[in-house]
Homo-oligomer: A and B are copies of this chain.
Amino acid sequence: SSPCAACKLLRRKCTRECVFAPYFSSSEPQKFAQVHKIFGASNVSKMLQELPVERRRDAVASIVYEANARIRDPVYGCLGAIFTLQQQIAQLRKQLSAAQSEMVLLKFQHQ
């Protein structure tokens, strides 16, 4: 069978025990290349090996997300998304508090 995207990039033999193979198919070379650029293959390999097999798919998804975020935004990475969400929360809290004040007023006026 053909090597996974990681073994292909790292030019090594893809064995049955390859920790990357289940998550990085050779049909998506960019996915591993980005993870490798940001975290490094050996760090990611260690991170995955420290996790039980059934948690690795989620870990890979979050690592891929973080790597993409860092490539898109080299200064803030994932934190860009966190800041945006925090601003949305502040905005929604403001709207909610305004709505609640208006409601108190409406109830008071029509008592």
Contact = CB atoms under 8 A, between A and B. Distances in A.
Given A62-B79, A74-B59, A106 B100 contact: no
B43 A66 contact: no
29 contacts: A38-B47, A39-B39, A39-B43, A40-B43, A47-B70, A47-B74, A51-B74, A55-B75, A59-B74, A59-B75, A59-B76, A62-B75, A62-B76, A63-B77, A66-B66, A66-B70, A66-B77, A66-B78, A66-B79, A81-B82, A82-B82, A85-B86, A88-B89, A92-B93, A92-B96, A95-B96, A99-B99, A106-B106, A110-B110
Given A66-B78, A89-B92, A92-B96, 19 more contacts: A39-B43, A47-B70, A50-B74, A51-B74, A55-B75, A59-B74, A62-B77, A62-B78, A63-B77, A66-B77, A78-B78, A81-B82, A82-B85, A85-B86, A89-B89, A92-B92, A99-B99, A99-B100, A99-B103
